[in-house]
Amino acid sequence: MNNNGLEDKKVCLVLSTCSPSDAERLAKFLVGNGHAACVNIVPQVTSIYRWEGKFENDVESLLVIKCAADGVEALTEALVKEHPYDVPELIACEVSGGNPAYLEWVLANTGRR
């Protein structure tokens, strides 16, 4: 990356699911509050899981959230508070490579406003 102080920072990819009716609202909340630089909404995924002893099969939207690694904790707190699920999925994966210009853009655009 460029010599602008961002080269030692890391980017994370965070995955979360939600109902299709909540996807855009949650994405705008995360970007608007500086928790994420970008959120992609994959409109339809089928989730098969057990919840409270029952077998579930639901259509959900997948949120693919890009953020600075040092902001994952704040993003987690914000998303858990704003998300309608009792236990929202939230899995963070550190990015080990990619287009340096894009990664720099993610870092430059992740910061609470």
Handedness of CA 104, 106, 111, 113 (dihedral sign): positive
Distance CA 18, CA 63 (A): 8
Amino acid making up residue 88: P
Q: Helices marked H in 1-113 — which ranges?
A: 20-32, 72-82, 100-108
Residues 25-63 pLDDT 10s: 999 999 999 999 999 999 999 999 999 999 999 999 999
End-to-end CA distance of the chain: 24
Please determine, for residue 111, whether its predicted confidence score (pLDDT) is greater than 80: no
Structural domains of the chain, ranges and CATH numbers in brackets? 11-108 (3.30.70.120)
Residue identified by tokens 């309608």 is 84
Please determine, for residue 22, whether its predicted confidence score (pLDDT) is greater than 90: yes
